[in-house]
Chain A
């Protein structure tokens, strides 16, 4: 921690410098002068912008310290795309398959977004999948039996999810039962409710055009472009505006080039995806099938909204705090019980939304909806994306990237004609791998801090 006279001291220590002998005398004097003039703290001067190299090195240091985030998932996604594109060049990278992939990923992503909130507290919701199924059943019944439109049946489904989540949260936070046990009980109970609602062996068709369009309809091509350009421009404006305000006020900020690269990256992804999905992908000549599936902008809106909630509101900050150190949060005056209940409410409501998307994709709700491996795919998506099972670490973006990884595996293996057992084996192995990465990076974080 020595200070050299020409480089602005960031970590200077008068005592340490003084001990180093006469050759450092001038450095010591310079340091003392700075210390007396400005209070001696680097905080008294405006923060400097890191150089490009420093920005990269800081990122690598973070990775080595166990803060790997969504990097493995993003790399994995690239590897999977390259792999499947090489193995199935005729089918995998076609617009129709990309559109399919997006729709397949949608319900997993929304489920994983909800689970992210629960996982951030170090809890788990094993009932999220079946809660989605039961909520979709409620929606279908409200539409078919009661004859009401989507504007009432979708809110009814979301409220069903909210009710499940509230109950789970109460049992976990107020009664004090571990979330694993509470949600295991709900996993069984909710399946019973779905079975009772639908009846054994029955299937309820979903015919409401708005609901069907969520997964099966496409945004008109022109409108899709408008959305994509607006979203990319808004992201660029907000990001650059924030960076500029940080610079003006002398606050910590990223290297400008890195910020620009991020803005460009987001724009490329948004516009590239829109370009691919705007091509006519009808297999039959003479029919026009083009445009971004509605579920994609829906996920985009959810991503922005939930990211703001987690990253930019006091509520989100408190969720992270409770997940990181509940005792510290309690002493800071945060109502830990209320936060714990709220994450289950959010989780189950988003699970209900995921169930609606799945019902839309399949045009029906069955007693088994949301059962099977639905939940594990959701948890897998969140964890593969980099959300920690141990709480306190994770983002909504991770759910999107992880959901895409899971859907790509399913989709690619399907194209290769692999049988279901391979799919199960591979997905299970990927989940295990992601959880192992999570556990190991957590250990690194712990050892880095000691």
Chain B
């Protein structure tokens, strides 16, 4: 792994680049020199088996974990990330699996939670509602009827939609989605995948963490497979088959792709 080289990649300069990320928890090294590129307008899928380090990598990107080694580039500049506030300022938003919505608040209130628009000391509800409506309209959301519904009345897919809309409300540039379709039915998965695609079409860099290869092949432009804490390979979705990706996930390699040095995996 070449730690210090600036990111080079195919298909335009990446919005977000990680180079040689190491992360250990005590004696256990979870990430070994991971590289990752996220480009504007593309969906990058992050796949890997349980324990491959997907969630750890996401939390490193989000600034929740500090990395032990490696470099973090944003829009070509090297940046230091010390916490979630830093990444939020850069325009990186994470939609976690458990969504973190308040059931007792409505959609607008949830989308602006903690960042309310104010007029003096009072809340500026009309402006917030307008901005929420514009955001949902820009994502062509057709499944939400009224932005003044309580979140408790929404279906799983609608909740996911609200959580994603909340993430893009702040002109964010990169959105990370942690298993957005894990708990959804067929129709709702469809809606959310459409939404994921639209995020990228609107020019955002999207990272999709998923176990479901059907979803990945449907919306992702690139796939980065993690294998035991290493980035086994980053491939264009159109260049690979599903079974090749399965091999990358389960064995770390497939044909001439993947980790060549098998002794490295033995050390884990």
Picked from A40, A246, A321, the residue with its CB within 8 Å of the CB of B142 is A40
Residues of A273-317 at the interface with B, using a CB-CB cut-off of 8 Å, are 308, 312-314, 317
Whether B69 is near chain A, meaning CB under 8 Å from some CB there, is no
Whether A325 is near chain B, meaning CB under 8 Å from some CB there, is yes
Q: How far is the CA of A152 from the CA of B84 in the complex (A)?
A: 47
B113 pairs with A41, CB closer than 8 A: no
Picked from A10, A245, A333, A446, the residue with its CB within 8 Å of the CB of B145 is A10
Picked from A10, A14, A332, A448, the residue with its CB within 8 Å of the CB of B113 is A332
Most buried by B among A47, A334, A446: A47
A392 pairs with B115, CB closer than 8 A: no
A333 pairs with B140, CB closer than 8 A: no
What residues on B are CB-neighbors of A323 within 8 Å? 104
Residues of B113-127 at the interface with A, using a CB-CB cut-off of 8 Å, are 113-116, 118, 121-123, 125-126
Taking the closest CB of chain A, its distance from the CB of B256, in whole angstroms, is 39
Q: How far is the CA of A41 from the CA of B140 in the complex (A)?
A: 5
Q: Which residue of B lies closest to A38 (CB)?
A: B137
What residues on A are CB-neighbors of B134 within 8 Å? 43
What residues on B are CB-neighbors of A334 within 8 Å? 113-114
Q: Which residue of B lies closest to A315 (CB)?
A: B121
Q: How far is the CA of A321 from the CA of B123 in the complex (A)?
A: 15
Taking the closest CB of chain B, its distance from the CB of A316, in whole angstroms, is 8
Chain B count of residues within 8 A CB distance of the other chain: 46
Whether B211 is near chain A, meaning CB under 8 Å from some CB there, is no
Q: How far is the CA of A320 from the CA of B161 in the complex (A)?
A: 22
Taking the closest CB of chain B, its distance from the CB of A322, in whole angstroms, is 9
Residues of A236-274 at the interface with B, using a CB-CB cut-off of 8 Å, are 245-246, 249, 251-252
A320 pairs with B114, CB closer than 8 A: no
Taking the closest CB of chain B, its distance from the CB of A16, in whole angstroms, is 8
Q: How far is the CA of A9 from the CA of B101 in the complex (A)?
A: 27
A313 pairs with B142, CB closer than 8 A: no
Q: Which residue of B lies closest to A10 (CB)?
A: B145
Whether B240 is near chain A, meaning CB under 8 Å from some CB there, is no
Residues of B217-250 at the interface with A, using a CB-CB cut-off of 8 Å, are none
What residues on A are CB-neighbors of B116 within 8 Å? 314, 317
Q: How far is the CA of A313 from the CA of B123 in the complex (A)?
A: 5
What residues on A are CB-neighbors of B115 within 8 Å? 332-333
Interface readout for B38-64 with A: 1 if CB under 8 Å, 0 if not?
000000000000000000000000000
Residues of B129-158 at the interface with A, using a CB-CB cut-off of 8 Å, are 129-130, 132-134, 136-148, 150-154
A41 pairs with B102, CB closer than 8 A: no
What residues on B are CB-neighbors of A208 within 8 Å? none
Picked from A11, A42, A249, the residue with its CB within 8 Å of the CB of B130 is A249
Whether A15 is near chain B, meaning CB under 8 Å from some CB there, is yes
| Contacts beyond the supplied A41-B136, A321-B102: 18 A-B pairs with Cβ under 8 Å | A10-B145, A40-B142, A43-B136, A43-B137, A44-B133, A67-B150, A246-B126, A312-B122, A317-B116, A321-B113, A323-B104, A324-B105, A327-B100, A328-B99, A328-B100, A329-B102, A332-B100, A445-B152
Q: Which residues of B contact A (CB under 8 A)?
A: 85, 96, 98-105, 109, 113-116, 118, 121-123, 125-126, 129-130, 132-134, 136-148, 150-154, 187, 190
27 A-B pairs (CB sep. < 8 Å): A11-B145, A13-B143, A35-B140, A39-B138, A40-B142, A41-B136, A41-B139, A41-B141, A41-B142, A43-B141, A43-B147, A65-B152, A245-B126, A246-B126, A251-B133, A252-B129, A312-B122, A313-B122, A314-B118, A317-B113, A320-B102, A321-B105, A324-B105, A325-B101, A327-B98, A328-B102, A392-B102
